[in-house]
Structure 1
């Protein structure tokens, strides 16, 4: 449509180096149970997660502009692309991921089939504590192959949309400002943003299919 109308996007700028949470094998690496079979007709059956890094700019005491970082840890339902839970923090940390994991497990507890939680091989997902919580709930753990982003494309696609629509080309001047912008966009994405393959927003689709 943009091509036909002669329109060009203004928020596509050169991207910075992608955040990589892989720190080698520090715990248990799970098998790839998803094998790019992302589709499911059952809500809450297949969930995926990852961590993404964002930058903002602040002035220090000497009024020098310094780069700061923010980290987003969301859990996404492959059924409809809905973000079930997320945490935002100033540093990569286990607590943020574990808190978001617990909320996602609580949200998906109504699934009548055994659930699968998928991720890459990031350090946090190899932790014994992360695996233990999944085991307690009888949830399968699945991991992408090392260095293969296509094994977790639903999460990568979400990050791409988020950054294209509220991050690229915008300068954020504080953690609070960037955090609020991400929270507002995730609410818009879940409740109002129409996904072409669904014909409506993720939450509207889930409500229609489970009514």
Structure 2
């Protein structure tokens, strides 16, 4: 896992958004103090599913499954171009994509609905 973390950091030019979250299960490599210190030092907030609860990460797994199926990224030439496409996809997903599980609202509409309730 340390090699994967280092590769991620390298690919991101060691620039991590201050609100970036690294989510995982509670496998021993994610809970090991050496790995946790590297994650913290890199600037990530570490998040883990509850022990024995695979449903904690289900919404993110669903989102990433849709994104991998729908996002056109194969012809990206730079990491900046890929970031732009990912940002555009997320914006469209949150503002234009109606979802049955959110009372047929977009994620942004549903969030506003919850905040005013």
Q: Deviations over 1:92-120 (max 9, x none)?
A: 96x627x224xx7xxxxxxxxxxxx9633
Q: Which stretches in structure 2 are left out of the alignment for 5+ residues?
A: none
Note the 1:16-35 alignment, pairs <5 A.
22-23=1-2
Q: Deviations over 1:159-203 (max 9, x none)?
A: 1111111136x4222222211110111111112211121111111
Which structure shows the bigger proportion of residues in strand conformation? 1
Partners of 2:67 and 2:91 lie apart in 1 by 11
Which structure shows the bigger proportion of residues in helix conformation? 2
Q: In structure 2, what is the equivalent of residue 210 of structure 1?
A: 115
Structure 1 residue runs of 4 or more that deviate by more than 3 Å after TM superposition: 121-126, 141-146, 148-151
TM-score, normalisation: structure 1:
0.37
Q: In structure 1, what is the equivalent of residue 66 of structure 2?
A: 161
SS of 2:19's partner is helix
Partners of 2:16 and 2:68 lie apart in 1 by 21
Q: Which stretches in structure 1 are left out of the alignment for 5+ residues?
A: 1-21, 24-68, 72-87, 105-116, 135-140
Cα RMSD between the aligned structures? 4.2
Q: In structure 2, what is the equivalent of residue 143 of structure 1?
A: 49
Q: Number of matched residues?
A: 103
Partners of 1:151 and 1:92 lie apart in 2 by 30
Q: In structure 1, what is the equivalent of residue 36 of structure 2?
A: 127
Q: In structure 2, what is the equivalent of residue 90 of structure 1?
A: 11
Q: Is the contact made by 2:24 and 2:30 (CA closer than 8 Å) also made in structure 1?
A: no
Q: In structure 1, what is the equivalent of residue 97 of structure 2?
A: 193
Question: How far is the alpha carbon of 1:144 from its aligned partner?
Answer: 5.9
Q: In structure 1, what is the equivalent of residue 19 of structure 2?
A: 100
